[in-house]
C-alpha cells in the first residue's frame, strides 16, 4: 500500500502559494504547474527507490515467558536485501490485554544490512497469548512516500507472574547486593556449618578470612556460615472475591502471587522449606513444603494458573485442609483482605486458629481509594463510611497483634520487598 508522508503534504500545500500569486501575475500561475510536475516526479522516484516487501526479512524475538506487570523487551530484527536504503517504522500487533509506552519502532535501514530494535510490552493478565503479525512502513530516501507491508509473524507465549523480578532477586543474591533493589541482606553466620566463600566486604568479620583462598585469588576472601534452620515457610493465597479488586493496574491477587514467587526464591536460597496453598470456595492447589531444586518451578507452574473468582472464600475449609498436612511449626504468610468484623469474621477466625501452632504474618493492602472530600450528602455519607471502616480495621489489627498475629501493611509498590524483608529479618 502506498502512503504519502507528512513532508509530501507540506510541499503540496506550498504549491497553493503559486495560485495566490496567479492573481497578481499570470506567469506565477504557470509556475504552479511546473512545481506540481516536479513534485510528482520526485514522488515517483521516491516510490521506485523504496525496497519491496520481498526484499525484507522480519523476525520477532522475546522470552518464552513474559512477566505480568513488568515491561518485557520485544525485539525485532530486519534484514534489508535490496540495494536501497529506507526509513523503517514497525508497529507490532499485540494482544489487547497488554499495554506499552510507545508501540512504534523507528530506525534507518541501510542497503544489504541487518538491524535490530526493540520496544517494551506490559501484560496486565496472566494466561496464554499469541502475536499474529506486524505492520511495517518503509519511507523512501526523500521522505515523500512510504510503502506499508504486513508480515505474518505468529508467535505463541505465556504470561507468568513476575519472573523478571525473581531473576533480578536471584542474581543480586549471588552478588550479595540485595540492598540495591530494596531487599535486606540475608543474615549469615552462627554456630553451624560452613556455607560458601565470597569476597570480603566492609563490615565483615576479619576473623572469618580464609587465608588459603585469599592467597589464591590475591584479594581477601571470607568464609560464610549459614544458620541451618530447616524452617517451614508457607503462603496461603486467597483467590476469592476479596482479591478481585484492582489495585492500580493489577488485581490484589496478582500482587500476592508476585510476592509469593519472590518469597519462594528467598526461602530456597536460605535453604528453608517452602509450601503453598491457594483457595477460594474450595482448595485449588497445594504444594507440600519442600526445599528441592524443583520447588521454584513447581511454585511457578501453580501460580501461573491462579486466577481470581467472585465466589465467597471458605476460610474454615482451608484451615481444616491445612491442619492435617502442616503439622510442623511454620512461618505462614496469609494474603487476603480485611474489611470489618462481620465481612471478615471467618478470616479472623482462620488467623486465630493458625496462630495457636504457627507464626502468622497477615499481608494487608493499604487503602487506595481516595477519601471523599465534598460537601454533598452522598460525599459526606461516603466519607463517614470510609472513616468507620478504617477505624474498625485498625481495631481488628490491634486485637490480632495481641495474640501474636503480625500485620504487614503493603501497597502496589512495596509488597514484594516488605514481605520478603519480613522473612529475611526473622
Percent share of the chain, pLDDT over 70: 90
Residue 53 falls inside a structural domain: yes
* pLDDT value of position 331: 93
Q: Is residue 362 within 8 Å of residue 400, measured between CB atoms?
A: yes
* pLDDT value of position 260: 94
Residue 293 falls inside a structural domain: yes
- Looking at per-residue confidence, does 240 or 24 come out higher? 240
Task: Give the distance, in angstroms, between the CA of residue 399 and the centroid of all CA atoms in the same chain.
Answer: 35
Q: What is the mean pLDDT of the segment spanning 46-67?
A: 92
Instruction: Tell me the per-residue pLDDT of 360-377, one tens digit each, with 9 for 90 and over.
Output: 999 988 875 565 566 677
Q: Is residue 124 within 8 Å of residue 249, measured between CB atoms?
A: yes
Three-class SS state of 93: coil
Residue 169 falls inside a structural domain: no
Domain co-membership, 121 together with 12: yes
Domain co-membership, 140 together with 236: no
Q: Is residue 57 within 8 Å of residue 78, measured between CB atoms?
A: yes
Domain co-membership, 288 together with 152: no
Q: Which of 127, 160, 193 is the last residue before a domain boundary?
A: 160
Domain co-membership, 246 together with 113: no
Q: What is the mean pLDDT of the segment spanning 116-137?
A: 92
Q: What is the mean pLDDT of the segment spanning 52-61?
A: 93
Q: What is the mean pLDDT of the segment spanning 306-312?
A: 86
Domain co-membership, 250 together with 108: no
Please calculate the CA angle 357-360-365 and round it to the nearest 5 degrees: 155
Average pLDDT for the chain: 86
Q: How far apart are CA 274 and CA 331, in angstroms?
A: 10
Domains in the chain, number: 2
C-alpha cell at 405: 498475629
Q: Which of 126, 160, 194 is the last residue before a domain boundary?
A: 160
Domain co-membership, 298 together with 153: no
Cα-flanking dihedrals φ and ψ of residue 393, to 5°? -65, -40
Domain co-membership, 415 together with 312: yes
Least confident of 200-214, 261-275, 325-339, 402-416: 200-214
Instruction: Tell me the per-residue pLDDT of 210-247, one tens digit each, with 9 for 90 and over.
Output: 888 888 888 898 887 655 557 899 999 999 988 988 88
pLDDT band at 390 (very low <50, low <70, confident <90, very high): confident
Please calculate the CA angle 91-94-97 and round it to the nearest 5 degrees: 140
Cα-flanking dihedrals φ and ψ of residue 182, to 5°? 90, 5
In sequence order, the β-bridge partners of residue 408 are 363
- Candidates 126, 150, 149, 153; CA nearest to 139 is 149
Q: Domain with 11 in it: what CATH number?
A: 2.60.40.10
Domain co-membership, 275 together with 419: yes
Q: How do beta strands 283-290 and 330-335 pair?
A: unpaired
In sequence order, the β-bridge partners of residue 283 are 279
* pLDDT value of position 229: 58
The domain in which residue 259 lies consists of 232-425
CB hemisphere CA count around 145 (13 angstroms): 16
Phi-psi label, residue 231: left if phi above 0, alpha if psi -120 to 50, beta otherwise: beta
Domain co-membership, 243 together with 146: no
Q: Domain with 367 in it: what CATH number?
A: 3.40.50.410
Q: How far apart are CA 255 and CA 306, in angstroms?
A: 12
Answer yes or no: is pLDDT of 190 > 70: no
Q: What share of the chain is helix, strand, coil (3-state, %, to 5)?
A: 35, 30, 35
Residues 279, 283, 289, 291, CA torsion sign: negative
Q: What is the mean pLDDT of the segment spanning 106-125?
A: 92
- Candidates 95, 97, 86, 102; CA nearest to 136 is 86
Residue 30 falls inside a structural domain: yes
DSSP symbol at 395? H
Residue 197 falls inside a structural domain: no
**Cβ neighbourhood burial of 218 (10 Å; 0-12, 13-18, 19+):** exposed
Q: Is residue 336 within 8 Å of residue 362, measured between CB atoms?
A: yes
Q: How far apart are CA 409 and CA 419, in angstroms?
A: 9
Three-class SS state of 114: strand
Q: How far apart are CA 321 and CA 283, in angstroms?
A: 8
pTM of this prediction?
Answer: 0.76
Q: Which of 98, 132, 160 is the last residue before a domain boundary?
A: 160
Domain co-membership, 21 together with 101: yes
Domain co-membership, 139 together with 241: no
Amino acid at each position: 500500500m502506498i502512503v504519502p508522508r507528512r513532508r509530501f503534504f507540506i510541499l503540496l500545500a506550498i504549491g497553493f502559494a503559486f495560485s495566490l500569486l496567479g492573481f497578481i501575475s499570470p506567469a506565477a500561475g504557470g509556475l504552479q504547474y511546473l512545481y506540481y510536475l516536479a513534485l510528482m516526479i520526485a514522488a515517483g522516484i521516491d516510490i521506485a527507490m523504496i525496497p519491496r516487501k520481498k526484499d525484507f526479512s522480519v523476525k520477532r524475538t522475546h522470552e518464552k515467558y513474559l512477566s505480568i506487570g513488568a515491561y518485557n523487551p520485544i525485539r525485532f530484527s530486519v534484514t534489508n536485501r535490496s540495494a536501497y536504503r529506507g526509513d523503517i517504522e514497525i508497529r507490532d500487533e499485540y494482544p489487547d490485554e497488554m499495554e506499552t509506552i510507545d508501540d512504534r519502532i523507528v530506525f534507518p535501514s541501510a542497503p544489504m544490512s541487518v538491524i535490530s530494535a526493540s520496544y517494551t510490552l506490559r501484560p496486565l493478565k496472566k494466561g496464554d497469548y499469541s502475536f499474529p503479525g506486524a505492520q511495517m512502513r518503509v519511507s523512501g530516501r526523500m521522505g515523500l512516500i512510504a510503502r506499508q507491508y504486513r508480515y505474518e509473524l505468529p508467535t505463541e507465549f505465556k504470561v507468568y507472574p513476575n519472573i523478571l523480578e525473581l531473576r533480578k532477586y536471584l542474581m543480586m543474591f549471588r552478588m550479595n547486593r540485595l540492598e540495591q533493589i530494596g531487599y535486606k541482606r540475608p543474615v549469615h553466620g552462627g554456630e553451624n556449618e560452613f556455607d560458601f566463600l565470597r569476597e570480603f566486604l566492609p563490615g565483615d568479620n576479619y576473623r572469618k578470612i580464609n587465608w588459603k583462598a585469599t592467597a589464591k585469588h590475591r584479594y581477601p576472601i571470607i568464609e560464610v556460615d549459614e544458620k541451618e534452620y530447616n524452617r517451614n515457610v508457607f503462603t496461603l493465597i486467597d483467590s476469592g472475591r476479596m482479591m478481585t479488586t484492582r489495585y492500580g493496574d493489577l488485581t490484589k491477587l496478582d500482587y500476592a502471587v508476585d510476592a509469593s514467587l519472590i518469597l519462594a526464591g528467598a526461602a530456597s536460597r536460605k535453604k528453608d522449606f517452602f509450601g503453598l496453598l491457594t483457595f477460594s470456595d474450595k482448595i485449588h492447589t497445594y504444594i507440600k513444603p519442600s526445599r528441592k531444586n524443583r520447588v521454584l518451578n513447581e511454585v511457578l507452574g501453580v501460580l501461573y494458573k491462579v486466577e481470581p473468582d467472585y465466589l465467597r472464600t471458605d476460610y474454615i475449609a482451608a484451615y481444616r485442609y491445612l491442619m492435617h498436612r502442616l503439622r510442623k511449626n511454620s512461618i505462614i504468610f496469609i494474603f487476603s483482605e480485611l474489611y470489618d468484623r462481620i465481612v471478615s469474621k471467618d478470616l479472623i477466625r482462620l488467623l486465630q486458629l493458625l496462630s495457636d501452632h504457627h507464626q502468622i504474618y497477615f499481608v494487608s493492602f493499604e487503602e487506595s481509594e481516595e477519601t471523599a472530600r465534598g460537601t454533598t450528602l452522598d460525599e459526606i455519607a461516603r466519607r463517614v463510611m470510609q472513616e468507620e471502616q478504617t477505624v474498625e480495621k485498625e481495631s481488628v489489627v490491634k486485637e490480632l497483634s495481641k495474640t501474636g498475629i503480625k500485620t504487614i501493611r503493603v501497597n502496589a509498590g512495596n509488597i514484594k520487598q516488605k514481605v520478603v524483608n519480613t522473612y529475611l529479618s526473622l
